[in-house]
Chains A and B, each alone.
Chain A
Amino acid sequence: MTATTLPVLRPAPARGLAQRFADVLVLTGRNIVHIAREPLQLSDVTIQPVLFTLLFVYVFGSGVVLPGGGSYTDFAIAGLLALNLTTSAMGTAVGLSNDLNSGVIDRFRTLPMWKAAVLVGRSLADLSTAALCTLIVALTGLVIGWRPHASVLAVIGGFALFLLFAYALSWGCGCLGIVSKGPESAQGVGLVILFPLAIVSNGLVPTQRMPAVLRFIADWNPVSAVTAAARHLFGNPNPSATFSAWPMQHPVEASLLWSVALLLIFAPLATFLYRRRTTG
């Protein structure tokens, strides 16, 4: 240290609304750097989607006959988007839990920043990885023969519904990350919740021949709503369209309602839980 660089004493400036956005941006960037440097987390949204897509299309595709006909590949891509986005939402729980169990959260808490930026920055970083995951599934799909039969706008709408749903789900997983003891338990509990959610749906197999109870669950599962909505918008085979359950008759509306409802419940809940965990 040299004498010329001794500190000039001044308090940090007071913060406005613009600074909140800056805080969110800074933390979003920080979380993206984390994901890029953690090979396991990155492979969840890069390698795993390719693997799942190939495995399901070639292994299941050979055995599944769609009621009403159509190609399994065309049917499966929306389901695979749902499966990958739902399971990768766990990244939010694990990431947040990692932060809460490290010293860096105390640093954030002593800075004059917008405290909720920790949560918003996390959710936006995970939204960007969800977008990457979506892109990779779509590209893999295109390579193996998936074709949307709809306008560009409708296809974009389908992707947008998926991303909105993934974003809402990540706030739910955020709550899980905040209440869990550590990243391992967050991952464990997350898997138990998210995997059935992704599988007991119309995502990978037509639900026509499911037992009544399972089919009821599948019909009302938000994952089914968003998958059916995307199939509808992509112009891909959508066997659930013949069901009388309201979400299957109105999948776009149902998936929007589900996503908004999840956000309205989990975003305030996560903020409350985070504040409770970090005050005392």
Chain B
Amino acid sequence: MSSLMIEAEGLTKSYGSTKALAGIDLQVPAGAILGALGPNGAGKTTALRILTTLSHPDAGWARVAGHDVVKEAAAVQRNIGVTAQDATVDEILTGRQNLVMIGRLSGLRRGEAKARAAGLLGQFDLTDAADRMLKEYSGGMRRRLDLAAGLVTRPPVLFLDEPTTGLDPASRLRMWNVIRELVAGGVTLLLTTQYLDEADELADRIVVIDHGHVIAEGTPAELKTQTGGARLEVTLTEANPAASEALEPFASGPVHLSQDGRRLRAPVRTGGGLASTVVRALDAAGITVDDVEVHQPSLDDVFFALTGRPAELAGDHGDHDLEVARS
């Protein structure tokens, strides 16, 4: 078995005339977290459905834990845990009954399944709600149970499809902590998200997916430097026409001056000690400084640089991927 736990090459998938995946390659080494980032309809969910054996690719191949997702689906299923975007748990059963059922269907004996369910309910703070029907769970509780459901067999590979979409900020932070602890335990994880801060926060590597293509790939830091540097903002004690000239050596583009002449903004290449170098240069020119800020680019900036559209708006043109994938 190769050290790649998730591997895909040239995956394509169309629904009617809609090309959901236009040839995607993925590699995730054992123990790594890959964040698949993209707007609604980019093809993330379609890729995830193929990797979790729910859907067959039109072309290309994928292996998970060393097994082909089409030809060896059962072997793949023994190695994966899945938390899909909509709840894939049984509304009519209680939380405990859900986990025991999933354990039994995964091949655990009754006693094992019960013990595992009790353990997971405790881990996810659901012990009090364990014997209530899922219907009565809040969105956050349901999401936690869904994640627990994916962990019943302690699978080596986990797939999480937008694990925090629709959660309130507190539940979201809590989910992040749960995911971090899982990964500390050695799980290989593929996570899809529309939230740029989430990918930045959790993933070792990120692939940016748009219109069924991988349009960029790298560590969060690499992506940021690859798609534009940082932004320097300087506030002067009082306006000084010499300030623009003093900043020019650092700038990688035009220096922008505010109307009152006190604030200057310029794109810069990030480098160690940039802020102190800037302050020293301004000081040498006899200019006094109130404030210096170096803004690292957010993944929002990255997405904009890559696609020419802000990520939030990108979803407007294509929800069809998810709709079709579920029908």
Report A's interface with B, CB cutoff 8 A. 1-3, 5-15, 19, 22-23, 26-27, 30, 33-34, 37-38, 102-104, 106-113, 117, 279-280
Contacts and interface: CB of A to CB of B under 8 A. Distances in A.
Nearest to A16: B107
A9 to B, nearest CB: 4
B298 interface: no
Interface string B96-120: 0100011011111000000000010
A33 B54 contact: no
Contacts, number: 117
A23 B105 contact: yes
A15 to B, nearest CB: 6
Contacts of B119: 5
Given A103-B86, A107-B82, A112-B74, 9 more contacts: A7-B187, A9-B187, A11-B65, A11-B75, A12-B77, A12-B108, A37-B133, A102-B91, A110-B80
A53 B65 CA distance: 59
B107 A108 contact: no
Given A8-B154, A15-B107, A103 B84 contact: yes
A106 B92 contact: no
B271 to A, nearest CB: 38
7 contacts: A7-B185, A9-B185, A30-B97, A37-B92, A104-B91, A106-B84, A279-B56
A10 B101 CA distance: 19
B78 interface: yes
Nearest to B30: A9
3 A-B pairs closest in CB distance: A6-B185, A107-B88, A103-B88
* SS class, residues of chain B in contact with chain A: loop
Interface in B167-220: 177-178, 181-182, 184-187
A19 B186 CA distance: 29
B90 interface: yes
A23 to B, nearest CB: 6
B54 A104 contact: no
B90 A7 contact: no
B53 interface: yes
A34 B92 contact: yes
A8 B77 CA distance: 17
A19 B108 CA distance: 10
Contact of A112 (B65, B78, B123, B177): B78
Given A23-B105, A30-B101, A12 B54 contact: no
Residue with the highest number of chain B CB atoms closer than 10 Å, among A5, A6, A7, A19: A7
A115 to B, nearest CB: 9
B89 A103 contact: yes
Contacts of A8: 154
B122 to A, nearest CB: 8
B149 interface: yes
Nearest to A19: B107
Nearest to A35: B92
Contacts of A37: 92, 133
A120 to B, nearest CB: 13
A1 B105 contact: no
A33 B124 contact: no
A113 B79 contact: no
B296 interface: no
Contacts of A14: 78
Contacts of A19: 107
A11 B106 CA distance: 10
Contact of B154 (A7, A33, A109): A7
Contact of B78 (A7, A11, A103): A11
A23 B54 CA distance: 19
Nearest to A279: B56
B29 interface: no
B105 A111 contact: yes
B14 to A, nearest CB: 11
A23 B105 CA distance: 6
A112 to B, nearest CB: 4
Contacts of A23: 104-105
A104 B88 contact: yes
Contact of A107 (B92, B149, B154, B184): B149
Contact of A1 (B84, B88, B124): B124
B207 to A, nearest CB: 22
Residue with the highest number of chain B CB atoms closer than 10 Å, among A2, A10, A103, A117: A103
Nearest to B149: A107
A64 B317 CA distance: 67
Nearest to B135: A37
A112 B77 CA distance: 5
A250 to B, nearest CB: 44
Given A33-B97, A110-B54, A10 B156 contact: yes
A79 B255 CA distance: 91
A11 B87 contact: no
A23 B77 CA distance: 15
Contact of B52 (A6, A27, A110): A110
A2 B97 contact: no
A22 B106 CA distance: 10
Nearest to A109: B54
Nearest to B87: A103
Nearest to A8: B154
Contacts of A13: 78, 107
A11 B86 CA distance: 25
Given A2-B123, A26-B105, A103-B84, A12 B149 contact: no
